[in-house]
Structure 1
């Protein structure tokens, strides 16, 4: 029913069933994972009124809610690096899941929990990106503008090569700024403004 794709790795369909409503993907060498895509394979839809919450388990830190899937939203991409918070979701959801070892070859878990959509939508309101979407941007326009400019500056700086630094005299091609704008707007539409709070 589900597929999992870690950027730069083969597609995973080796889902491990925990019980009737819970399943897991094992993610070996988890410390090297930046982004992950989870999706419905298209073979079996959710029953009417149901969807799945997606959780990430980092050994020693518990499960953290990442987002959701439904028949209307059959896929999602999540950024894992630098986004794990100290607050975990319900660790008892996936009771009986295999233990994950530590070290460089650390294995993390991606958990899927099939639940009624009203419960899922209620859980989604607790995500930082949902809180950011709900908060009026105008409440602190200066802080928001600073975060947007910092995001642009960091993006442009990543293209400066060698030992050079970005100075007021550095010329930046308009195509680079246009690419940043497209990427930025796509992130805002897909995840809200929560990503601006990440310290990179």
Structure 2
């Protein structure tokens, strides 16, 4: 007997995607802003827990490597990827400090911190956001439904309106890819360097 396909997962994703479309201008704004800042020598810091950690690391990999076309590498660090630092900090200071202490070590005014959380309630991300803003680091958050503590703690937030965490996480990946597309488009709007790479404002050709 052939079982009927369960399309509930796809249906939930499609419904949430319709609402997500309203966030496209914000993602475009983030991509252009990130291109300008990283082109001027700032860096991106990113963090999350669990599956959100994997997506944060996916974003930093795209910026240090490439998304689609060849371009220069840009400074982007996934804070959770340093397992020695995170475990040492958790052991000595508590798990709530694992990202905040790294932000204090690596963050500089003008940098950007992107935090991903399907719930928006992760205490270690909220503490990191507070520390980042104290240092003059801009904080962007990708979260689940608003209102939530992380969205409040960030400078700007994209809050996915979906009841299921898996759906939120899937749309966070869409946002990450769209952010990379907007980032690369902004770079492509600049003049070309001698190596054929785009040059953003404030960067000189070699």
TM-score normalised per structure 1: 0.26
Which entry has the higher C-alpha Rg, 1 or 2? 1
Calculate the TM-score normalised by the size of structure 2. 0.26
User: Comparing both chains, which one has the higher relative contact order based on Cα–Cα distances under 8 Å and sequence gaps of 6 or more?
Assistant: 2
Q: Which has the higher helix share?
A: 2
Task: Give the number of the structure whose residues are more often strand, by fraction.
Answer: 1
